[in-house]
Structures are given as structure tokens and as C-alpha cells.
Structure 1
Amino acid sequence: MQKSLIAEFLGTFWLVFGGCGSAVLAAAFPELGIGFTGVALAFGLTVLTMAYAVGGISGGHFNPAVTLGLTVAGKFSKGQLVPYVIAQVAGAIVAAGVLYIIASGKAGFELGEFAANGYGEHSPGGYSLMSALAIEVVLSLFFIMIILGSTSSRVPAGFAPIAIGLALTLIHLISIPVTKTSVNPARSTGQALFVGGWALQQLWLFWLAPLVGGALGGIVWKAVGDEK
């Protein structure tokens, strides 16, 4: 159990540090062309790489919504749900802290939105609360289904991290303009704690929507795709 929690901490740390780091550091140089596409790819690569690195230890969740979805689908022990979520949130907070230390070392540093998730005036495209809620639920639902499907016995073993990483890239390509993409309450929490103010006030949505979507994904998978 202890090794699994360490793996979840490290995997979530890498997801936040790599994904949000690309948004905070690399995207500050638009002439290099990273933009939304580069950030989306960075998030996908973090999950792909750490799923191969430590997925065999913990299952490679790195996300409370994933852990909940797998639990609802009957693929994960209920007794490990809370410890996994704590490890994931801790990894995200530490990653955000390290990223803050690095980013603040630049002359003239301003925290800005620090890749924190938001809606309304804090949505890159100015999308409403309802838009944010809808897209986060839908994308979280399909993310769980892709995870469950790609790790099932019906598909060749060893390729799941590729499908999951590409799915997360696609999710970010769709939703960065709407919410900067959460689908992961831990990722949202780490950044919001450093931004404070509006980010903490809006954080509830980025717990509620991914968790609801994750649970729905588990329910749908049990009804449609689960091995009998």
C-alpha cells in the first residue's frame, strides 16, 4: 500500500509539474509555437510516461476522478479510495509549489492565473459556469471509459498508457479554451491554492464535475463494456 501511495504521489506530481509547467513556463514564449496544442500534448505525455513508469505499482490513476470511477466500476478497492486521493492531492500541491519556486525566479515575475482552472471571466474563451460544468462532466466520463476499455482483457496488453495519454491530449485540445481543462480535482487544487481568491472560489466546480463524470463513467462501463 505504501509503495502504491508513493507511486500515486509521484505520478500526480509529474502530471501537474509537466502539464501546468508547460502552460506557465513554455507557453510564455508564444513565438515558439507551443500554444494550446503544446500544453495539451504535455499533459498527455505526463500520463503516458508515468503510467509506464509506475502504473504497474499503483495502477497509474494520478487523479481522484479516475480512482472514483474505477471504484464505482468495481475495478478498485473502496478501502484505498481515500488514501489514493490524499496522495494525489499532495503530489499536485507539491508540484505546484516547485513550479511556483521556479517561475518566481524570473525577473518581473507575476503570478497571473498560474494555469488555475476557471470559468466566466477566468475562462480563456469566456465560457459560463454551465459550459464549464457540462464539458468537465462529459470529458471525465469518457476519460474513465477509455481507461477502463484500454485496460480490459479484450485489448492487447501493454498499450493502455498510449491510449490514455492520447485521450488526455485530446481532452485538453477540446477544453483548454473553456476551463483550461481540469478533469482532475488534484491538478485543480494545487494551482488554486497558490492563486487563491477567485481560483479557490471556483474550485468546487473542478471537484464536483470531474467526480460526477468519473462516477458516471464507471456506471456506464459496468452497464455497457464490463467483462461478464
Structure 2
Amino acid sequence: MKFDISYTLDAFPRLFEGALITLEVALIGFALSVTLATLLTVVRTALNSRVLNVAIAVYISFIRGTPLLVQIFLVYYVLPVFGLNIGPVTAGILALTLNSAAFVIEILRGGLASIPKGQSEAARSLGLSGFALWGKVILPQTFMSSVPPLVNEFTQVLKATALLSTITVVELMRVSQQIFSSNYHPVEVLSGAFVMYFLMCFVVSRCSSLLEANFAIRRA
């Protein structure tokens, strides 16, 4: 069977709609994961509780030690057993959030370790403490130093949304499956999906480079 680009071009409008859903789910899931990871990082550092540290370590080990697809199925199929009936999109976002947060916690821990202790001591000597210390001194520097790995994590989340097609989330991969199941030209349709994924990741990468350059100028 010859490659017929007309099927790719015909599929682009629907693929674009699927790409928007993919981007929306990825952005929401990643934003929630960064929020959750930030809260856990602040609480863990501030309290320095052995019990909390062990609980977070177990959580991270579980996420890293199991496939994301299994985690998606657990959220989608197991939660309703306990009375939590959520739709596929909500389940997908929750699974992506819990998965990504485990990696973001480690990213933020590395960024936190890169901040000289003198920064906190100087801030405290000026009367800053608690939320002011974290919000104005520690967290901004932590995020600035963590931009490259955070962007890399976002691209991983963006690509991982393809797995949500298994729980009927109508994102880019699911739309591709629907199209080639009707026209029987999977190569052409998946080539279009490939282009969509590449463009999204490329734009994210370029935005990351501009953001890093901006931070470099500010530091200088």
C-alpha cells in the first residue's frame, strides 16, 4: 500500500482538535503536579518529620516502580469500587498528576539543594520567616534553577497523555485511532499525529530556551 498524503491532510483538522485536548489535559495535570510537589516539598523541609519523609519515599518508590499505564487503570477502575465515580478525563488528569508529582518532588529537591544556605540565613536576619521566606526567597530560586528538568518533565507528561486513549479520553491518540479505524490508513493518520506531537514538544522546548535566557539575563 502506497503512502497517500491526502489522508494525512484530511485528518489534520480532527487531529488538531485532539491535540488541543492533549495540551489541555497535560497542562492541567502538570500544573496540579507542580502544586502538589511544591506543597509536599515545603512541608517536608519545614517539618523534617521522619514519618512524612518515609511516606513520601514510599509514594515516590511506588510511582517509579510501576508503569504509568497500570497507575491509570488503578485510578480509573479501582476508585469507583470505593464510591469515587469520576469520568475518564478526570481520572486521566489525576493519574498524570500523581505520577508527575513524584518526579517533580525530586526535581525540586535538587533545586532546593542548589540554593546556598546563606540565602536563608540572610533572609531570616532581615526578619523574613515562614511564608514570606519561602515565597520571596527560597521557592523563586528553586524554580529558576529547576526550569530545564521541569520542562523535560512537562514534555514527558505531554507524551504520556497518549496512554489515556486506553480509558477512552478523546485526545490526539484516541482521535487518530478513530480516524484510521474508519479509513484504514493508519500510517498516514499516525504520521499526522506524529507531526502534532513533535510540534507541541518543539514549541515547549523553544519556550523553555527563551525562559532560561531570560533568567540568565536577570541573574547577570
Higher radius of gyration, 1 or 2: 2
Calculate the TM-score normalised by the size of structure 1. 0.29
Between Structure 1 and Structure 2, which shows a larger proportion of helix residues?
2
Calculate the TM-score normalised by the size of structure 2. 0.29
